Amino acid sequence: MSSYTTGQAWRLIRQGRIFFGPAPKLVLLAMADRADQHGEGGYHVEELASQTGLSGGAVRDSLKYLEGERLLHVRLTEKRGIYRYRLTLDAQRADKLKSA
């Protein structure tokens, strides 16, 4: 768990650099809360659904959205549907995404 990564996620949301709805914000914050200082971590969709109060489908849609915005890189591991991810939340990256 990294307060640095969670802080980066909150900073992006507060600064309005990326525009997205409440479900992707919840998923982003939940993932940032579980990530290490490099933005890397692992999750299971059902765990994120339970943590955020969203349905599994809403979590999957949010993950696709975040990945499409290039705020998240996901890969499936061989361990029972657990996904590994890397969040890309730094301000320079966000500026590039907003101007693209």
**Domain range for residue 88?**
3-99
Nearest to 90 by CA among 1, 2, 9: 9
Question: What digits encode the pLDDT tens for the residues 12-27?
Answer: 888 876 677 899 999 9
Give residue 98's pLDDT.
47
| Domain CATH code at residue 83 | 1.10.10.10
How many independent structural domains does the chain possess? 1
Local confidence band at 99 (pLDDT 50, 70, 90 cut-offs)? very low
pTM for this entry: 0.80
Question: What digits encode the pLDDT tens for the residues 32-67?
Answer: 998 888 888 888 889 999 999 999 999 999 999 988
Longest dimension (CA), the chain: 38
